Structure 1
Amino acid sequence: MTFYRTTRLMLSSAAILSFASSAFALDGNDLLKKINDAYPQQSGSIAAESIDVSGTTVTLKGVSVKPAGAADGIKLGDITLTGVAEAGGGYTVDQVAFPNVATTKDGVTIAASDLKMNGVEIPADVTKGDLDSLLFYKSAHAGSLSFTQDGTQVFAIANADATLNKRADKSGLDFDTEVNGVKVDLSKVDDPQAREAISQLNLQQLDGKIAMKGSWEMAPGKIDITEYSFDFKDVGKLDIALSLSGYTPAFAKSLQDALKTVRSNPNQQDAQQSAGLAMLGLLQQLTFNSAQIRFDDSSITSRALEFAGKQQGVSGKQLADTLKAMTPIMMAQLNIPELQNAVSAAVTAYLDNPKSLTVKASPDKPVPLPMIIGAAMGAPQSIPQVIGLKVSSND
């Protein structure tokens, strides 16, 4: 009797566990559907030949990504999602691991490794217009990436990392991206004149890094890019900063819809005209806060002066003196004395001792973008005053 009771208990328990397992098993098809719903700005679609679910691990097998408007998809292989859990109708994923890439077409080989995303959030509803309706990840990583043409590596990076930080009050997010070990080989450029210039400027092999930092506040749609820099050894560092308001979720959706309309219109000429009008309308919603472009020299300026001077039969110093004398004359044509003096002083100081050159636009209060466009078309001499333009060097 005891044996039969024990057997029935075991079978009943197995049946209950089996039912519970099937009832709470992850729905791989729903997961892929919600990924597609949230796939950045309707820029394409993701398809899988099959989906395997094992506990909290979901494997999308034979994945291909088809960009919007493209005839064929790009095959990626198997993508593994680990630590998958349902969350309010959406999903959270501890890590998304992509397969290594190694593909060759038309003599160009692309190779990438160690591609992954961590802390991924897949929304249940992408129409709410809040931060929780966006496809989100806490960090993303790429290992080595290289482009090789006819056996010669022309571009490569050592690694790249990106992080997104969702603010506690869900008012916005902060982002930070670094691309390290950027290498560019320009020694095999076909054009003889370009190759000669590259050689004289000592730019055959570029080695550097790229970085971007910033934030986005959803309600005012304020995008602050505090750093977007390209820093290359023996060349210099170009750093761009920009602040705009009005890039709200509603604006982003309108932009997506406009682009989608263009892609779906078989008459591309009409589509482009319509898109132009739509963009003009959308620009009405944007406001310019500030911008800055700064270049910190690492010897490229002196080499450029020597190279350009040689082309004209003078020394680099003689060319620099000529440029210093010509700058006030060229600036005088704008009929903006204050800007003329500032630019002339900055150029003179920089050419005498190249350290840094900065162009900054910082109006007293935010300026609607249409006002800037109108000023540029109707009264370009007013632009410096409208946007608070300043030029300085070696500061």
Structure 2
Amino acid sequence: MNLSYRHMRALPLSFLLVTTSLSGAFADTAGMAAERLKEIVQMQGAILEWDRIDIRGDDAVLVNVRAGTADDKLLIGDVALNGVSNTAEGYLIKEIVFDPMEVGDETSTVSIDDAVMAGVLLPEDSQIDQFGGSIFYEKASIGSMSVTVSDDEVVSLSDFVTRMTAPANGEPMTYSGSADKFYLNLTVVDDEDQQAVLAALDLEEVTGSLSFDGYWQPTDGRFVLSHYDTVVDNAGTFGLTFDMGGYTPAFLASLRELQAQIAANPDGDTSSQGLAILGLMQQLIFHSTSVKFTDASLTNKLLNYLAETQGMKPTDIANQAKAVLPFLLGQLGNAELTAEAMQAVGKFLDDPKNLTVRAAPSAPVPFALLAADVMSDPKKLTKTLGVTVTAND
């Protein structure tokens, strides 16, 4: 009986010791994750600081967070780190939630609401380059963002979401994103001539959406932007693609080291680091890029406006553009491209569907060679890049 009684008396003390130990472990993990977050932000050349950290279990709140440079910091507010754990790759945070943020002065204000990051990994130094050299997250979203100038909303964005998948088993890191709606208020433009153009093109208040996706392969440094489409309602879609190589983890490590050297001595002579960065950029390899415009009434609106202001017909304006184009393109020193572009632009103006400019060399081109072309003979650049122009594909 006495032995049992002593054990029973020891149970509350044992429970207290265990729970205190676990709480300390959680506190250490959450606190160390917060410091790791600060370190990674500093690697990117910025400063992150807060007044204090409140920890409860595996959650933490960074109170009164500020970010920026030593001389100029932006007040972000409280930031909650929910579900912090330690893994072999680094600190994993189930969710980072930002307080609604509003910054500005007497004339303008920027507001951001419902900003959340999920599946956030703060990689260890030995792992960080495999995740692009920075913080990795599975999803980040902003419910709404707006910019107000003199009580007029001039820019807004709603339901912005971006997602990533971690590179694993030789597979690349993929990324994608979209914004359901953006708004741009151009009625605030003061110039009367510009206002007249915007009114004629029905672009005084611009709405639209955007989407993008691509991938990054750490093993060979291939970075691809498969598409980046900006849809402008009642105007058209502007599309962009990009493909380059050489963006390897080793490249990222070297770039981060040079950035750290510059950040450590911001007021000193950083010319040598700048030259080193330029040298490092020569390791990159150009594969291709393209810019595409898909018309949704903007072209005819523009032709009609120009025709009206000059007392002409829209077809006359289109023919004038066709006639002037050879003189503009002739400066490129590429007769084949000039002829191709004239045919494509003429086809587009006669029947506006889409117009695409591509740069896709027959073989990947090092950035060093492109830089040499620019410095020695810029007219060679379009041939080196394999530039083509097509219409109504």
> Would you call these one fold, judging by a TM-score over 0.5?
yes
**How far does the alpha carbon of each residue in 1:180-210 deviate from its partner, in whole angstroms, 9 at most, with x for none?**
2101110121222222221222111101112
Amino acid at match of 1:38: I
2:64 to 62, 80, 90: 62
So what's the TM-score if we normalise by structure 1? Answer: 0.90
Distance between the aligned counterparts of 1:278 and 1:160, measured in 2? 36
Shift of the alpha carbon at 1:313?
A: 4.0
Shift of the alpha carbon at 1:257?
A: 4.4
Q: Which residue of 2 aligns with 1:52?
A: 54
Distance between the aligned counterparts of 2:143 and 2:245, measured in 1? 34
Shift of the alpha carbon at 1:7?
A: 4.2
Residues 132 and 249 in structure 2, CA contact (< 8 A), matched pair in contact too: no
Distance between the aligned counterparts of 1:151 and 1:349, measured in 2? 45
2:368 to 370, 383, 388: 370
**How far does the alpha carbon of each residue in 1:127-169 deviate from its partner, in whole angstroms, 9 at most, with x for none?**
7633397421100111011111121111111210010111331
Any idea what SS the aligned residue of 2:291 has?
strand
Q: Which residue of 1 aligns with 2:31?
A: 29
Distance between the aligned counterparts of 2:103 and 2:377, measured in 1? 52
Amino acid at match of 1:239: G
Distance between the aligned counterparts of 2:98 and 2:128, measured in 1? 29
Any idea what SS the aligned residue of 2:338 has?
helix
The root-mean-square deviation of aligned C-alpha atoms, in Å, is 2.5
Q: Which residue of 2 aligns with 1:199?
A: 199
Residues 45 and 259 in structure 2, CA contact (< 8 A), matched pair in contact too: no
Alignment of 1:224-235 (within 5 A): 224-235=224-235
Distance between the aligned counterparts of 1:132 and 1:360, measured in 2? 27
- Aligned residues, how many? 390
Q: Which residue of 1 aligns with 2:101?
A: 101
Any idea what SS the aligned residue of 1:357 has?
strand
Distance between the aligned counterparts of 2:45 and 2:388, measured in 1? 39
Shift of the alpha carbon at 1:315?
A: 3.0
Residues 123 and 131 in structure 2, CA contact (< 8 A), matched pair in contact too: no
So what's the TM-score if we normalise by structure 2? Answer: 0.90
* 1:93/1:359 CA distance change after superposition, 3 Å: same
Distance between the aligned counterparts of 2:181 and 2:281, measured in 1? 37
Residues 131 and 167 in structure 2, CA contact (< 8 A), matched pair in contact too: no
Q: Tell whether 2:320 aligns with 1:318.
A: no
Distance between the aligned counterparts of 1:378 and 1:181, measured in 2? 45
1:359 to 348, 353, 357: 357
- Segments of 5+ residues of structure 1 without an aligned counterpart are none
Q: Which residue of 1 aligns with 2:329?
A: 331
Q: Which residue of 1 aligns with 2:189?
A: 189
Distance between the aligned counterparts of 1:59 and 1:128, measured in 2? 24
Distance between the aligned counterparts of 2:23 and 2:334, measured in 1? 75
Residues 175 and 214 in structure 1, CA contact (< 8 A), matched pair in contact too: yes
Residues 241 and 291 in structure 1, CA contact (< 8 A), matched pair in contact too: yes
Shift of the alpha carbon at 1:385?
A: 2.8
Any idea what SS the aligned residue of 1:129 has?
helix
* 1:72/1:326 CA distance change after superposition, 3 Å: closer
* 1:170/1:20 CA distance change after superposition, 3 Å: farther
Distance between the aligned counterparts of 1:307 and 1:247, measured in 2? 45
* 1:62/1:276 CA distance change after superposition, 3 Å: closer
Shift of the alpha carbon at 1:232?
A: 0.6
Q: Which residue of 2 aligns with 1:117?
A: 117
Range 79-88 or range 237-246, more displaced:
79-88
Distance between the aligned counterparts of 1:336 and 1:15, measured in 2? 81
Range 281-290 or range 23-32, more displaced:
23-32
Amino acid at match of 1:363: P
* 1:116/1:325 CA distance change after superposition, 3 Å: same
Distance between the aligned counterparts of 1:369 and 1:133, measured in 2? 21
**How far does the alpha carbon of each residue in 1:68-118 deviate from its partner, in whole angstroms, 9 at most, with x for none?**
4x4132222211111111223832111111101133413212222111011
Q: Which residue of 2 aligns with 1:129?
A: 129
Shift of the alpha carbon at 1:25?
A: 2.7
Amino acid at match of 2:38: N
Range 51-60 or range 26-35, more displaced:
26-35
Shift of the alpha carbon at 1:265?
A: 4.0
Q: Which residue of 2 aligns with 1:208?
A: 208
**How far does the alpha carbon of each residue in 1:324-375 deviate from its partner, in whole angstroms, 9 at most, with x for none?**
1222344345443321221111011011111100011111210111212222
Q: Which residue of 1 aligns with 2:386?
A: 388
Q: Which residue of 1 aligns with 2:45?
A: 43
Any idea what SS the aligned residue of 2:181 has?
strand
* 1:131/1:283 CA distance change after superposition, 3 Å: closer
Shift of the alpha carbon at 1:260?
A: 5.0
Distance between the aligned counterparts of 1:333 and 1:76, measured in 2? 50
1:294 to 288, 292, 295: 292
What's the % identity of the aligned pairs? Answer: 27
Any idea what SS the aligned residue of 2:27 has?
coil
Shift of the alpha carbon at 1:48?
A: 1.9
Q: Tell whether 2:18 aligns with 1:17.
A: yes
Distance between the aligned counterparts of 1:22 and 1:376, measured in 2? 61
Q: Tell whether 2:256 aligns with 1:252.
A: no
Range 216-225 or range 248-257, more displaced:
248-257
Residues 37 and 126 in structure 1, CA contact (< 8 A), matched pair in contact too: no
Distance between the aligned counterparts of 1:359 and 1:89, measured in 2? 42
* 1:193/1:134 CA distance change after superposition, 3 Å: same
Any idea what SS the aligned residue of 2:129 has?
coil
